[in-house]
């Protein structure tokens, strides 16, 4: 399972990098979303998959899945959500002001 | 902290109070400041040894003792001489400035005195510290203060130009000097000058770093002391108010380089490189400065080039005198250097102040407009006569005595038996003599063009009259010193000069200091007579000289190198910046990704960290195969989707599958959060997409598309490799996760059963708090972006 997940992470990172390099503002945002998915899965995989019970003491199991990466990922998901929401509104506002979402046309003027 | 430490810090402490004292508007701020240098000067006087030999005082306060950086004060003859100059001239300059800069409503006197005090403290720090790093810090502070003072009238373009120029040149030299200090530390293992001197007294000069360290330190000294070709900043520094020019750019700061060379003479002295470099730079500066001074029309510019030339003279004497480690003939040069240093401070200080008075009372410093002021300003005239006669080297003033000693020094140097001086030595007296002729000529120009001839009131902005007594007070004091030192030179010889000479040449027990007016008809006397004769001859024929092309340009030709270099630097950096900052987001991502790929792969090869381990894996149930393959398929399809709703659905599918995987991988909290976030996110995307345009096909050139593809695959590959290696190492190297602590302590310490939640709100509670803050900021940003109305024509 770990091998499969690692390969999945590789695909997610590749695709998101490709999206980041495109000219469309929306694809860049989609790339960021995918990149955070990739990072979360990578984290979880590194801690080991399917080892022990969920990290709830009420289960009274002999061993539990590592709770620390889960806590970190939880924080990352929430932050990622905030960032994505902000980027979306930023894209919306940029489009309203400049009437384009093409990053090639959105570069600054030559004297900046 | 000893009293001497507080002596260095006192001006800085005083500077803190200046802005408050400035609030008392009906009293000139200078009156409050005046007391400080006076008290310091009187305090320092007690260290002058009278009838006994100087005992150096050393006080150490640890600063960063682990790397040998201590705020250690070392007061010996040389330091005392400079400290007396700084505080003594400082007192007179502050007094002079009270009358020179009127207490007008919008005059920023607080700035002036804060900078001046900052300079005073920094300069005292330079000459009193024994630790090289402390010296460097104070050294750069003097550059900063000097630059700020030059730009005191910053609304003038020329002031800003001069300030920038002096800053760039002296700070560059300072940096070089710091490098030299570090090389000394590598060799001697200490930043203390005392210890460095005693280290080099014991070992032979065979260290490969010795010459580089010497060159770097000399670069610092030469830039600061305006030696050729770095002298170009000093004439432009004359834009500063005249008290500043008198203080920083003639009496004290420009002598910091002299101080440094004198200080390091016990370290480097006795080597041929030190001797030849300093002597030749000094002599070139001497002659270049005096010749350039002749072609100036601005009184202050004449004085600036004269200062350059005199600094070259002192530098050359120190260079010649460094030979006295091997041949005692050269000792007189060191004595002459110290004596001339004092004399220069007195006569040049008084002359600067006099020029300030002329400027103040007539409104111009242009010698083409001035003339006939002798009868109108009799006191000013008398002071100038004394100062100029001393500068020209005429008896009985102190300038004559040190000029004679200077001639003795260069004549003795021709007989030196070391460094292959031989016949080459004849150059020293010739250069000295020619430079002295030009010195005499510009003295005559200054004197006759200002005070004799026809008074031309129609060319002057103001109606000329004698200056008020307050302005005259300081130059009178200095001019009296010129006369007193001229008549009774031996009052200095065993009180100031001998202790200073002993710090430069530590092995001399009892230096022979011989300052007399009359030595009989010797070579020096004939040289002086020759200077006077030829000087007068040149002055009479000045008209013909001035028609030569060289004399038509007032500006130093070396300025072209500086101006061109600066322009080239600015346009060059602009070009480099424009090359990389394209304004296209893609390019920045390319830089970052490529850098990451290169750095990570380099690290992998460097530490041989690549590892694979395909055992120790958990089994894959068939339904997981299906889920994962759908995930991969959806991911790959995203870049090809041209329809935005499809794209959202694709991303949504990926998000929900990730949530599903969280369930499978024993992470219920993650799954819950992911589900919630994903739902809201899809709604958000839909809302925004309503306003945004349809996705288009990417129109990249094929080359770009290929680069993008290669970079993305490289990025994915490197992450995959990291993951594989980490996975392999986790099992093979037996790392124990730190999570066991949380498993054991969730209940006893935090009273919770859900470990993830306990970590978030209890163990890492502060992180979560900040995370909430991030969300709040993002929310505020979103509200602002939606609500903010930008008016027509306003930039976003």
Per-residue pLDDT tens over the stretch A10-68: 999 999 999 999 888 888 999 999 999 999 999 998 887 777 788 888 777 778 888 88
Query: Quick check: A9 contacting B, CB < 8 Å?
Result: yes
Residue of B nearest to A11 (CA): B716
Contact B370, B458 (CB under 8 A): no
Contact B333, B317 (CB under 8 A): yes
Contact A74 B738 (CB under 8 A): no
The tokens of B477 are what? 């004091």
Q: Which residues of B touch A27 (CB under 8 A)?
A: 639, 695
The helix (run of H) or strand (run of E) holding residue B198 is helix B193-202
Contact B684 A84 (CB under 8 A): yes
The tokens of B238 are what? 């004359």
Query: Quick check: A81 contacting B, CB < 8 Å?
Result: yes
ipTM, 2 decimals?
0.94
pLDDT of residue A112: 46
pLDDT along chain B (796 residues), means of 10: 88 91 86 92 88 81 88 90 93 92 82 92 93 93 92 89 92 94 90 89 76 92 91 89 89 91 89 90 92 86 92 92 80 88 92 90 84 84 91 86 87 79 81 90 88 79 80 91 88 83 78 70 82 86 70 74 90 89 86 94 87 79 89 91 85 92 89 92 83 70 84 94 87 78 87 89 91 93 83 56
pLDDT of residue A79: 92
Burial class (CB in 10 A: 0-12, 13-18, 19+), B469: exposed
Residue B542 CA to residue B37 CA, distance in Å, equals 43
pLDDT of residue B553: 66
Q: Can you give the residue ranges of every domain in chain A? A: 2-53+64-98
pLDDT of residue B165: 92
Which one of A37, A79, A95 would you mutate to disrupt binding with B, by most B Cβ within 10 Å of its Cβ?
A37
pLDDT of residue B509: 61
Query: Quick check: A75 contacting B, CB < 8 Å?
Result: yes
pLDDT of residue B169: 93
For chains A and B, CB pairs below 8 A equal 265
pLDDT of residue B699: 67
How crowded is residue B428: how many other Cβ atoms within 10 Å of its Cβ? 25
pLDDT of residue B528: 85
Q: Which residues of B touch A90 (CB under 8 A)?
A: 781, 785
Residue of B nearest to A48 (CA): B727
DSSP class of residue B695 equals: P
Partner-chain residue, chosen from B668, B698, B767, that has the shortest CB–CB distance to A23: B698
Of residues B374, B116, B410, the one with CA closest to residue B244: B116
The tokens of B672 are what? 């819950």
Chain A: closest CA distance from residue B719 (Å): 6
The helix (run of H) or strand (run of E) holding residue B354 is helix B331-362
The helix (run of H) or strand (run of E) holding residue B725 is helix B702-732
pLDDT of residue B620: 82
């Amino acid at each position: 399972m770990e091998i499969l997940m690692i390969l999945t992470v590789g695909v997610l990172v590749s695709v998101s990098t490709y999206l980041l390099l495109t000219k469309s503002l929306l694809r860049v945002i989609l790339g960021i979303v995918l990149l955070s998915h990739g990072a979360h899965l990578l984290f979880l995989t590194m801690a080991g998959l399917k080892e022990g019970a969920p990290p709830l003491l009420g289960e009274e199991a002999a061993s539990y899945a590592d709770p620390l990466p889960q806590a970190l990922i939880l924080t990352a998901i929430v932050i990622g959500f905030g960032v994505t929401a902000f980027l979306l509104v930023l894209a919306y506002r940029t489009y309203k002001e400049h009437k384009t979402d093409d990053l090639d046309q959105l570069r600054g003027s030559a004297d900046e | 902290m000893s009293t001497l430490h507080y002596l260095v810090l006192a001006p800085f402490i005083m500077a803190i109070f200046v802005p408050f004292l400035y609030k008392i508007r009906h009293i000139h701020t200078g009156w409050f400041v005046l007391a400080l240098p006076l008290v310091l000067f009187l305090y320092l006087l007690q260290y002058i040894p009278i009838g006994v030999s100087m005992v150096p005082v050393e006080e150490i306060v640890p600063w960063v003792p682990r790397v040998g950086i201590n705020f250690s004060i070392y007061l010996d003859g040389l330091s005392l001489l400079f400290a007396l100059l700084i505080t003594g001239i400082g007192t007179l300059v502050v007094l002079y400035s009270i009358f020179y800069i009127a207490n007008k409503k919008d005059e920023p006197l607080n700035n002036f005195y804060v900078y001046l005090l900052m300079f005073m403290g920094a300069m005292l720090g330079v000459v009193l510290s024994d630790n090289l790093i402390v010296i460097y810090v104070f050294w750069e502070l003097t550059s900063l203060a000097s630059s700020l003072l030059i730009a005191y009238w910053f609304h003038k373009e020329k002031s800003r130009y001069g300030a920038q120029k002096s800053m760039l040149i002296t700070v560059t030299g300072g940096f070089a000097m710091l490098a030299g200090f570090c090389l000394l530390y590598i060799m001697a293992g200490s930043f203390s000058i005392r210890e460095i001197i005693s280290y080099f007294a014991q070992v032979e000069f065979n260290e490969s770093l010795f010459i580089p360290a010497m060159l770097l330190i000399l670069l610092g000294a030469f830039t600061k002391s305006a030696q050729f070709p770095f002298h170009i900043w000093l004439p432009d520094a004359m834009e500063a108010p005249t008290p500043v020019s008198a203080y920083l750019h003639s009496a004290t700061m420009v002598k910091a380089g002299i101080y440094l060379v004198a200080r390091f003479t016990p370290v480097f002295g006795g080597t041929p490189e030190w001797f030849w470099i300093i002597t030749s730079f000094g002599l070139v500066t001497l002659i270049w400065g005096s010749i350039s001074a002749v072609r100036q029309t601005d009184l202050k510019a004449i004085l600036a080039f004269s200062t350059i030339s005199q600094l070259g003279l002192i530098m050359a004497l120190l260079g010649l005198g460094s030979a006295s480690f091997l041949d005692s003939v050269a000792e007189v040069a060191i004595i002459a250097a110290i004596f001339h240093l004092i004399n220069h401070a007195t006569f040049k200080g008084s002359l600067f102040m006099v020029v300030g008075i002329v400027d103040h009372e007539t409104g111009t410093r242009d010698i083409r407009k001035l003339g006939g002021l002798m009868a109108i300003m009799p006191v000013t005239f008398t002071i100038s006569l004394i100062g100029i006669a001393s500068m020209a080297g005429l008896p009985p003033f102190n300038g004559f005595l040190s000029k004679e000693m200077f001639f003795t020094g260069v004549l003795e140097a021709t007989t030196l038996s070391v460094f292959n001086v031989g016949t080459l030595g004849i150059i020293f007296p010739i250069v000295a003599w020619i430079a002295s002729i030009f010195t005499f000529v510009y003295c005559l120009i200054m004197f006759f063009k200002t005070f004799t001839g026809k008074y031309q009131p129609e060319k002057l902005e103001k109606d000329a009259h004698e200056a008020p007594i307050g302005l005259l007070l300081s130059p009178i004091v200095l001019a009296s010193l010129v006369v007193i030192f001229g008549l009774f030179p031996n009052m200095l010889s065993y009180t100031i000069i001998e202790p200073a000479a002993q710090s430069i040449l530590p092995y001399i027990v009892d230096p022979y200091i011989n300052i007399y007016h009359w030595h009989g008809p010797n070579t020096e006397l004939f040289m002086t007579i020759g200077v006077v004769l030829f000087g007068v001859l040149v002055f009479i024929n000045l008209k013909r000289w001035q028609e030569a092309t060289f004399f038509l340009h007032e500006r130093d030709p070396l300025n072209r190198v500086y101006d061109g270099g600066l322009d080239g630097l600015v346009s060059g950096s602009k070009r480099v910046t424009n090359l990389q900052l394209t304004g296209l987001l893609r390019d920045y991502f390319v830089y970052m990704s490529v850098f990451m790929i290169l750095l990570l792969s380099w690290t992998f090869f460097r530490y041989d960290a690549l590892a694979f381990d395909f055992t120790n894996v958990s089994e894959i149930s068939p339904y997981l195969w299906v889920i994962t393959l759908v995930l991969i398929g959806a991911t790959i399809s995203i870049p090809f989707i041209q329809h935005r709703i499809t794209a959202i659905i694709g991303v949504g599918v990926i998000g929900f599958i990730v949530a599903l995987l969280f369930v499978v991988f024993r992470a219920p909290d993650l799954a819950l959060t992911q589900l919630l976030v994903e739902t809201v996110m899809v709604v958000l995307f839909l809302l925004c997409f309503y306003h945004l345009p349809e996705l288009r096909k990417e129109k990249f050139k094929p080359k770009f598309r290929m680069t993008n593809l290669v970079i993305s695959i490289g990025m994915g590959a490197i992450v995959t490799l990291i993951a594989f290696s980490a996975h392999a190492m986790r099992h093979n190297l037996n790392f124990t996760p730190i999570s066991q602590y949380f498993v054991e302590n969730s209940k006893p310490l935090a009273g919770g059963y859900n470990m993830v939640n306990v970590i978030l709100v209890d163990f890492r509670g502060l992180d979560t708090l900040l995370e909430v803050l991030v969300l709040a900021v993002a929310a505020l940003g979103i509200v602002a972006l939606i609500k903010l109305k930008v008016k027509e024509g306003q930039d976003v």
